[in-house]
Structure 1
Amino acid sequence: MLPAIDQLRTTLDEKAKAYQEIVKIGRTHLQDATPLTVGQEISGWVYMLDRSKEMILESTEKMRELAIGGTAVGTGINAHPEFGQFVAEEISQLTGQTFNSSPNKFHALTSHDEITYAHGALKALAADLMKIANDVRWLASGPRCGIGELIIPENEPGSSIMPGKVNPTQSEALTMIAAQIMGNDATIGFAASQGNFELNVFKPVIIYNFLQSVELLADGMNSFHDKCAVGIEPNLETIEKKKTEQFIDACDGIKPAHRI
C-alpha cells in the first residue's frame, strides 16, 4: 500500500508543478471564489497523501507489542517467564520487523486499541482519496454543461446514445473503495469494544477487515494512478472562459448600478 501512495503522490506532484502557472477560479461552498492555479489545487492533494502516509507509519508503530506469553488470561501461567520475549525476538528475525512482548498481557489479550487506531489512519487516507476522486470527477464533468476544467483519460465509451461523455469510472471506483474502508472502520471499532473480561474473541473479523482495507486501498490507488491520474490535463479553453467570465462579473459587482 505504501508504494501505491508514493506512486500516486509522485505523479500528482509532477502535475502540480507542471500546471503551477495556469490560473483558474477557486470554489468554496460549491460557489465561485477567488482565483488560484491548477498546480496549487493539485498540491493540496499531494500534501494529503504525504500526511496520510506519515499518520499510517506513526500508527503502525503501536502494533509492535504482542500478547504472546500471556497464555490464557494474561498471567503467563504454564509458560516460561521469558517465553513471550523469546518468541517476539524470533518473529522479529523472521519478518525483519521489530516486535516485543507486551509489558501488560492483560491489556494485550482483551484490547485491540492499537489496530483500531492504525485503521483510523487508513480511514483518513480513504477520506482524502474520496475528496481527490470527487474533485477530479467534478472538475472533469461535462462535456458541455459541466465544469469541464480537467480532461481525464477516455478508458471506455461513455454512452452509445450520448456522444462525448467520458465517464469518470476510475474516480467512481475509488470513491466506492473509500466507502468500504469507512465501513470496515466501523466494524473494527465495534469488534474492538468486545473485549469481555480477559479476552477479545473478535480478532478474526478485525484482521479480516484491516487486511481487506489495505488491499483495497493499494489496488484502488494503483488503478486510479495508471488509468486516470497519469492522464489528467487542464482544459485550457474552458478554464480561460470561466476565468474571464468570473473576472467580468467581479468587476460588474463593484459598479454603483449593481449595488443594492
Structure 2
Amino acid sequence: MTQTNASDVRTEKDSMGERQIPTQVYYGIQTLRATENFPISGIKPLPVYIDACVLIKKAASIAHGKLNCIPTDVSNAIVQAADEILDGHLRNQFVVDIYQAGAGTSHHMNVNEVLANRALEILGDEKGNYQRVNPNDHVNYGQSTNDVIPTAIRIGALLALQRSLFPTLNDTINTLEEKAIEFQDIVKSGRTHLQDAVPVRLGETFRAWAQIFRDHNTRLITAAKDLQALGIGGSATGTGLNTHPQYRQEIVSLLSDAVGLPLTSAPHLMAAMQSMSPFVNVSGALRNLAQDCVKISHDLRLLDSGPKTGFREITLPPVQPGSSIMPGKYNPVIAEMTSMVSFQVMGYDQAIALASQAGQLELNVMMPLIAYNLIHSIELLGNTIEVLRDRCLKEIQAQPDRCQNYAEASLALVTALNPHIGYLNAASIAKESLATGKSLRELVLEKELMSEETLEKVLDLLKMSQLQ
C-alpha cells in the first residue's frame, strides 16, 4: 500500500469539514470537491473564459485596493498572480468540468483559490494558509458568482470575437473579393432548383459569398454591443450588497481598458443578472452565420463535383488522399468539415436557448452551459472559416472551358429569347432542343424566328450575365 508523505499534502478546511490537498496544486478544497462531484465530460474551461474571469478578479483587486477595502499588499499580490495567469502560467490548475454546479460557483471558486494560493506564495506564505489571503474574503471581496459569471461570459465572448472571428471574417471577405476579380470574365450556367438557369459570372458567385460574410459580420457587431453592458457590482442578487459605493464605476472602467471596448454598467443590475438575452442574441447571429457556412460549403462541393461525372466548374485544392480504396481520389474535405462544425454551432445555439429560458427568479443557474457553448461557437467558427480560407478558398482554380460549355448548352438561355419570339415559341424551342439535341441557336435560325445578327447579340453570354 502506498504511503502518503505528510509533506506531499496540505490540509484545508471549508464549511463542510477538512480535506487533504496535494501540496503542489494551487486550487483548494472547494475545487477538489467539484472535481469529485462532476466527473462528467473531461472538458475543462476554455482559455479565453479563464482570461475573462481572471481579468475580472484583477480589476476587482485593483479597485478594492484603491478603495481601501483590502490591504494594498494583498491587492498587489492578487494582481501579480492574475498577470501571471494571463501570461499563460498555471493554466493546468483550472480543472472543473464545464458541466458543474449551477451558475458556475465551482469554476468561480477554482479561480478564487488559484489566485489566493499564488498570491500567498508571492507574499512569502504557504499555499492553503488563507489567513493572509483568503479566496472568499480577499480575492472575491464585493463579488458573487452571480455577477462575476455573467460578466465573464460577456467579456469572454467579446475577447473571442476580437481575437478570432472578426479578423477571420474580414480576411475571408478580402479573399473572396480577390477571387471575384480573378474569375470575373468567366461565364457559367446558373442553377435554380438544381436545374439549368440563366448564366452568371463565376466571379459574381464569389462576390455574393463575400457579401454574405460581410452582412454576417455586421450582424455580429450589432449583436455584440449587447455584451458591453456589465452587471458586475450587483453582488448576490443585483442589489450590490457588500460592495463599496464606488466599486461598480471603478471596475467597469478598469475592464473597459483591459478589453479595449467602451464597456458600461448595466442600467439595472438585477436585469443583467437574470436575463440571458444578450447571449441568445449573439448565439442567434452565430447560428445564422453557420447556416450560410453550410450553404457555401455545399456550393463548393457541388461546383467541384466530379471530376468526370459532376460539374467540375472549379477545382478545390487537394489537401489529402480521399479514399482508402480508390487511388487518385480527392475529396472536398475542408468544405465537409465546415458543414460539420456549423451543425455543431447550430446545436449549441439550441442548447443556449433552452438554458437561457431556464432561469428562475433572481438567477439563471444554467450559465456554465451558456458560457462554454457561446464562446466555443465563436472560436469554432473563427478557426473553421480561417481554415476554409487558407486551405480551400485561396487556392481554388476555375475551369473556364467547362463553365463555358455548360453555359452555352443550358436550355435556360431560351429565357433571353422571350422578348423576341414570345414565351410559347421559346418554350417550344426549348422542348425541341432537349428532344433532338439541336442547339437553341440552330432551331431559332432554322425556323427563321430571328436573324443571325440579332441572335448573336441576344445570346451574348458575357452581356447576358452582367449584373444589371
The interval holding the TM-score normalised by the smaller chain is over 0.9
Specify which of 66, 70, 94 is matched with residue 230 of structure 2. 66
Alpha-carbon distance between aligned partners in 2 of 1:86 and 1:4, rounded to the nearest angstrom: 33
Aligned to 1:171: 335
Aligned to 1:102: 266
The answer to whether the 8 Å contact 2:188/2:202 transfers is yes
Aligned to 1:17: 181
Report deviation, 1:237.
2.3
Specify which of 143, 148, 151 is matched with residue 307 of structure 2. 143
Within a 5 Å distance, the mapping from 1:1-260 to structure 2 comes to 1-159=165-323, 161-246=325-410, 250=414, 253-255=427-429, 258=432
Report deviation, 1:79.
2.3
Query: What amino acid sits opposite 1:241 in the alignment?
Result: N
Cα–Cα, structure 1 residues 60 and 256, in superposed 2: closer, same or farther, change >3 Å? closer
Report deviation, 1:85.
2.1
Alpha-carbon distance between aligned partners in 2 of 1:257 and 1:168, rounded to the nearest angstrom: 35
Report deviation, 1:17.
1.2
Task: Give SS of 1:199's match.
Answer: coil
Report deviation, 1:192.
0.9
Flag structure 2 segments of 5+ consecutive residues without an equivalent.
Answer: 1-164, 418-425, 434-468
Q: Which has the larger radius of gyration?
A: 2
Alpha-carbon distance between aligned partners in 1 of 2:259 and 2:393, rounded to the nearest angstrom: 34
97-106 or 50-59: bigger deviation: 97-106
The answer to whether the 8 Å contact 1:25/1:33 transfers is yes
Report deviation, 1:227.
1.1
What is the aligned residue count? 259
Report deviation, 1:160.
5.4
Query: What amino acid sits opposite 1:226 in the alignment?
Result: D
Query: What amino acid sits opposite 1:40 in the alignment?
Result: E
The answer to whether the 8 Å contact 2:411/2:430 transfers is no
Report deviation, 1:257.
8.0
Report deviation, 1:48.
0.6
Report deviation, 1:199.
0.5
The answer to whether the 8 Å contact 2:234/2:241 transfers is yes
Alpha-carbon distance between aligned partners in 1 of 2:199 and 2:230, rounded to the nearest angstrom: 52
Aligned to 2:104: none
Q: Identity, % of aligned pairs?
A: 35
205-214 or 250-259: bigger deviation: 250-259
The answer to whether the 8 Å contact 1:194/1:200 transfers is yes
Flag structure 1 segments of 5+ consecutive residues without an equivalent.
Answer: none
The answer to whether the 8 Å contact 2:186/2:404 transfers is no
Cα–Cα, structure 1 residues 102 and 149, in superposed 2: closer, same or farther, change >3 Å? same
Cα–Cα, structure 1 residues 163 and 146, in superposed 2: closer, same or farther, change >3 Å? farther
For residues 77-103 of structure 1, what are the alpha-carbon distances to aligned partners after superposition, in whole Å with 9 as ceiling and x for unaligned? 232344222211121122222222211
249-258 or 129-138: bigger deviation: 249-258
Report deviation, 1:249.
7.7
For residues 47-102 of structure 1, what are the alpha-carbon distances to aligned partners after superposition, in whole Å with 9 as ceiling and x for unaligned? 01111111111111111111112222222223234422221112112222222221
237-246 or 250-259: bigger deviation: 250-259
Query: What amino acid sits opposite 2:258 in the alignment?
Result: L
For residues 86-128 of structure 1, what are the alpha-carbon distances to aligned partners after superposition, in whole Å with 9 as ceiling and x for unaligned? 2111211222222222111121111110111011111111112
For residues 1-58 of structure 1, what are the alpha-carbon distances to aligned partners after superposition, in whole Å with 9 as ceiling and x for unaligned? 1111112111111111111111111111111111110011111100011111111111
Query: What amino acid sits opposite 2:251 in the alignment?
Result: V
Alpha-carbon distance between aligned partners in 2 of 1:230 and 1:93, rounded to the nearest angstrom: 36
Cα–Cα, structure 1 residues 155 and 68, in superposed 2: closer, same or farther, change >3 Å? same
For residues 210-256 of structure 1, what are the alpha-carbon distances to aligned partners after superposition, in whole Å with 9 as ceiling and x for unaligned? 11111111111111111111111211222122122215984884439
The answer to whether the 8 Å contact 2:237/2:270 transfers is yes
The answer to whether the 8 Å contact 1:5/1:221 transfers is yes
Alpha-carbon distance between aligned partners in 2 of 1:72 and 1:110, rounded to the nearest angstrom: 11
Aligned to 2:143: none
Query: What amino acid sits opposite 1:98 in the alignment?
Result: P
159-168 or 197-206: bigger deviation: 159-168
Alpha-carbon distance between aligned partners in 2 of 1:101 and 1:187, rounded to the nearest angstrom: 28
Alpha-carbon distance between aligned partners in 1 of 2:224 and 2:341, rounded to the nearest angstrom: 21
Higher relative contact order (CA 8 A, sep 6+): 1
